[in-house]
Every structure is written in structure tokens, then in C-alpha cells.
Chains A and B, each alone.
Chain A
Amino acid sequence: MTDSSKTKLLVSAIKNGTVIDHIPAKHLFKVISMLGLEKISNQITFGTNLESKKLGYKAIIKLSEVYFKDNDINKIALIAPHAKLNIIKDFKVIEKRDIEVPEQIEGIAKCGNPKCITNNDNVNTVFFVMPKDNEKNALKCHYCEKITDPEDMEVF
């Protein structure tokens, strides 16, 4: 049995919608809040701490009747760079999509610098995504120019 068919048994299938697979288990809840999934009324099932050859432990989210625009989904690339999107129709995968790291992210994450204007005044955060050594990304604040590590970033 393949890795993916095992998880399909663990998290029940959806008829139509989107499956986000290969999320690092420790970032599941961050991904949920980044995508604002706690605020929607669609049926959502997820599983976490599932064994994965690539990630050690991974999480998977299945969203019934939810479809993402590229802009919306790409922001999770910072913490889940290997995530895969499967678009489901009639229980079948009709499209597979990789996630691309965006150049800029706005209003999603908090700047790690307590002395940054965005943490002290009512200012929306803007980060430029900088490629760091071996595929990890760093976020450079447009305002204070300090680097925030996506691993430690707080999501609004």
C-alpha cells in the first residue's frame, strides 16, 4: 500500500473540494489559521501526526467544496514548502498543484521585531520573501528591514 492510500484510510475522502497534503505536522494549526479555515462553515476533516517518509510526521486537510486562488494558497509555502494540492471532483483527483513561494506577503504574519512600527502602531505588515541557504526562506520586513524566520513567525 502506498503512503497516500494509507492516509486516505485515516482521513475520510471528500466528494468535491481540495486536499492539502504533506503539511509538516507541527505547522498544521498555523496553516489552518493562515488560510482562515477556522472561519468557514464548509465541512473540513484533517489528520495529523501521520507517518511520512519525506517529512517524518505530516498533516493533511480535506476541504469539501473549497477551492483556492494561487495567491491565497501560496502564502502557506513559507511553512509548508512541500505541500501538495489535490483538486477533487467526484472522489477523483482531477488536478495536482505544487505550491509556489510568493515574493511578498501582506497582512498575514507578525514581524518578529518588537520595536517594529507594525507591532506598535496600526500598520499592516509587509514582508519580502528572501531565499535563504538551502531552500529555507526568510522574511524581510518592508518597514524595519529585520529578518523573521518563517519557522517562528506568528500568524494573525
Chain B
Amino acid sequence: MNNKSLISINDYSKEDIIKLLDLAEEFEKNPNQKLLEGSVIATLFFEPSTRTRLSFESAANRLGGRVIGFASKDSSSVQKGESLKDTIKTVNSYSDLIIMRHPLEGSARYASEVASVPVINAGDGANQHPTQTLLDLYSIRKTQGTLENLNIFMVGDLKYGRTVHSLLMAMSNFNTTFNFISPEELRMPEEYKMYLKEIGLKYYEHTDLSDVISDADIIYMTRIQRERFSDPMEYEKTKNSYVLRNSMLEGTKDNMRILHPLPRVNEIHDDVDDNKKSYYFTQALNGVYTRMAIMTSILGLK
């Protein structure tokens, strides 16, 4: 790992992951530890975000750190044509840790090579969003008591969804069985299925959501975006076939929980929100503890 930055979930071993989740658990029990007192955290969001930015800032504030940064590229010198390298070189000297979201893929890895302080990737285009993956893992472990031998259903846009790809890679350390439910056009890419075959993990593919979810431990929902379809008619046909409704949860396992990286549009019906199996809002809260763990561990404070 380069100067302890967190860029890609693939940089973390199974042991690294478990250590971070244990630490996040500690923060959940005792969130008010002033470990970042005297530290300045920079949040550079070249692309808008609600949860990721605010949960990082909330985590930093709870730990007593100061936060500087910008929430969109319009309020930075990028607007004047400044290169990413120059922006990072500058912010580098104002802060102890850089948290960055950027629309270009690979920008976070590059920033970590330019910066002398650690960089946390808060999303680089369609590539990686490792802190989301860690909070997903935290949520799975918390609700299931373990990460081992689970049956995980991924639903929706499995072709372009970076969260499902990273989650798949991370969960492949834990003898997971995968079920992929998606429209034909948005199936899990071949490279990930090849990888599962290589390491000997089972996966199943379905195009129908309704009757296969009864043995799921986790249902991980994602948003299907209109712009992903080459044929708009195809989108109109499929958009309502991947909506999870409360009535569909009958007969699902007791321990089953529904996760979603959020924001959702219509893929989880509002009537699911009151079901105890819905977990997505708590999942978002878990992001704060997970990010506390990530920041303090990267800065060597824990």
C-alpha cells in the first residue's frame, strides 16, 4: 500500500478488513473519542454526494478533527483549469489527510502518488468506492454475526454498479454463495464470474426477482439507471420488474436483511421501510463508524 492510502478494496487483505471492522465496532460502542483533535481533514468532492461526504465530515467532527474542503468542482480552482496534480499538491500542505471523490477513474490512485499525506478514495468514477464496501461488510457482519458462508443476492444494475463489484471481490474472501438478479442487459460482467469460477465459489444468475429470494441472507439492491440502456423501450419494460415490495418478503429467512448503498429511486417500495428486514438507513449510519475506523487507522492513531 502506498503511504497507507485507501484507494481500492483489492489493496486490503481479509485480515486488514477484519481489523477495520473490529475497530468500527469499537467506535460504535464509544463514538466520542477525540482522536483527531489537532488534525485537519480535507474533503475534496469534485462530484456531488450526500452520504459519503457528510458521513466522513460527521465522523471527523465526532473525533474532534477540523474539516476543510469543497463540495463541488464549481467552488474550487478546477473551474479555472487547475490540474488534479496541482490541486492535490496544494491541499497536501493544508491537511493531514485527503478524502477525495472525482469523476475520473484512477484519479484517486494518481492523487495518492502525488500527495505526501494519505488519500482516501471516496469514489473515482465507476471504478472504486472502498469505504462504501467496508461499511457494507460492517453491516453484513453486524446483522448476520459473521461474514462466512453467507448467501448474498445482488439485484439490479450488476454491469455498471461499482458497489456490487467491490462487494463481490471483498466477500469472495468469506466462502460466499452469490445470486445475481438483473435484466439481461445489465448482467454481472464475465470477468467477475470467471474470477468466482477460478476460486471455486458458487454463483447463480436469474432474471426474475420475485420467487428466488427465499434462501437469501442478504439482499443487496441497486439502482437501475435509465442511461444504462441502449434501448429506452427496454428500460421502460424492465424498470418495474426489479422493485422489491413488502409482500415479496413473506417466506424469506428471519435473519435476512435488505441493504442498499442509497440513493434509491423506486427499486425498494416505501412499504418495505417499516419491515424489520429493511436495513439501508442503519447501513448509512454504519458509514460513520466505519469511516472513523478508516481515518484513525490510516493516520496511525488506532
Q: Number of contacting residues on A, CB 8 A?
A: 17
Interface string of B126-153 (1 = CB under 8 A from A): 1110000000000000000000000000
Specify which of A121, A122, A144 is in contact with B125 (CB 8 Å cutoff).
Answer: A144
> Is the C-beta of A115 less than 8 angstroms from some C-beta in chain B?
yes
A116, B104: Cβ atoms closer than 8 Å: yes
Question: Number of contacts between A and B (CB, 8 Å)?
Answer: 52
User: How many of B's residues come within 8 Å of A, CB to CB?
Assistant: 18
Are B106 and A117 in contact, with the CB atoms below 8 A?
A: yes
CB distance from A149 to the nearest CB of B (A): 12
Contact of B8 among A116, A118, A145 (CB under 8 A): A145
A61 within 8 Å of B (CB atoms): no
**Binary contact track A130-155/B, C-beta < 8 Å → 1, others 0:** 00000000000111111100000000
* CB atoms of A118 and B106 under 8 A apart: yes
Interchain CB contact under 8 A, A143 and B105: yes
State whether A115 and B125 are in contact (beta carbons under 8 Å apart), knowing that A120-B104, A121-B83, A121-B85 are contacts in the complex.
yes
Q: Say whether B106 contacts A116, CB under 8 Å.
A: yes
Instruction: Judge whether B191 is part of the interface by a CB distance below 8 angstroms.
Output: yes
Question: Does B126 contact A121, Cβ atoms closer than 8 Å?
Answer: no
CB distance from A35 to the nearest CB of B (A): 27
Q: Is A123 an interface residue (CB 8 A)?
A: yes
A113 lies within 8 A of chain B by Cβ: yes
- Docked complex Cα distance between A122 and B191 (Å): 29
- CB of A121, distance to nearest CB on chain B (Å): 5
Q: Tell which of A117, A118, A123, A142 has the most Cβ of chain B within 10 Å.
A: A117
B84 cross-chain contacts in A, Cβ below 8 A: 117, 121
A residues in contact with B85, CB < 8 Å: 121-122
Residue of A nearest to B104 (CB): A117
Chain A window 85-119, contacts with chain B (Cβ cutoff 8 Å), 1 for yes, 0 for no: 00000000000000000000000000101011110
Which of B83, B106, B126, B128 touches A141 (beta carbons < 8 Å)? B106
Complex Cα distance, B127 from A115, in Å, reads 10
Contact A144 B83 (CB under 8 A): no
| Smallest CB gap from B165: residue in A | A145
A143 and B126 contact, CB distance less than 8 A: no
Q: Which residues in A have their C-beta under 8 angstroms from that of B126?
A: 115
Q: List 8 A-B contacts (CB under 8 A).
A: A117-B84, A117-B109, A121-B83, A121-B84, A143-B110, A144-B124, A145-B105, A147-B191
A-B interface, 8 closest residue pairs, ranked by CB to CB distance from nearest:
A143-B106, A144-B105, A144-B106, A117-B106, A117-B107, A117-B104, A143-B109, A117-B110
Interface of B toward A, CB cutoff 8 Å = 8, 10, 83-85, 103-107, 109-110, 124-128, 191
